[in-house]
Amino acid sequence: MDKKISIAIDGPAGAGKSTIARRLAKELGYYYVDTGAIYRTVAYFLDLWGVSPKDIDGVERYIDELTLNIEYDEEGLQHMIMNGMDVTNDIRTPEISQKASLVAAHAVVREMLLDMQRDLAKEYNVVMDGRDIGTVVLPKATVKIFLTASPEVRAQRRTDELIAKGQKANYKQILEQIKQRDYQDTHREIAPLKMARDSIKLDTSELDIEGVLAAMKKIISDKVAL
């Protein structure tokens, strides 16, 4: 089997990773692997069982009951299948965002998900986004990019996104949630959010989506024929 190409995109919540990674994957004809969705599915599952994300005993007791599968539809969209049920749309709530961040701190959870992520990159060319892709999951990724933006810009983007979807959004509350998640994701002991040494940092605060995409393609084209 020839060696596959992997583009690792890490960064804090709301930096635009998923929007950019999805677009990029589509243009390159690669699979888009949204690893946050995997942690969200674990959090959702534990929540259904009434297990607190901080309760390590509960997490260890229930985690074996979870069968997790990733499927792709004909448009290349990733679907999360939890014990045979498609929960792709159920995992996108602010509550599950917070819980996923806490659940993701447990070694038992991270270990369980590691092979699943690596196997996808072994089998396909991927654009994979998350927090520890360049540092832990794919330390030999072909290209590593660290996408970031100020918390205020990220909160404003989330607020605009929700409003555009016709949902309620409170900027101040969203900013607090983002800061809390940044803290949790960067301060955990195992695989914290941090930039890999060989990663290229891209601050998206002053860029729109097209600008970010153009900058990313420039970085990628140094290593991969586009």
Contacts with ligand DC by CB under 6 A lie at 13, 35-36, 39-40, 97, 100-101, 104, 130-133, 181, 185
Token couple for 45: 């599952």
Q: Are 203 and 149 in contact (CB under 8 A)?
A: yes
Least Å distance, CB 181 to ligand DC, is 5
In angstroms, what is the minimal distance from the CB of 89 to ligand DC?
13
We find the least distance from the C-beta atom of residue 204 to ligand DC, in angstroms, to be: 15
CB of 35 to ligand DC, least distance (A): 4
CA atoms within 13 A on the CB side of 43: 26
Distances in whole angstroms, Cα of residue 160 to Cα of each of 34, 83, 175, 185: 22, 34, 13, 23
Nearest CB to ligand DC, comparing residues 2 and 63: 63
Identify which of residues 107 and 163 has a Cβ nearer to ligand DC in the complex. 107
| Angle 99-105-107 from CA coordinates, rounded to 5° | 130
In DSSP terms, which residues pair with 69 in a beta bridge? 81
Which CB atom, from 28 or from 193, has the smaller least distance to ligand DC? 193
Return the number of the residue (2 or 103) whose C-beta is nearest ligand DC.
Answer: 103
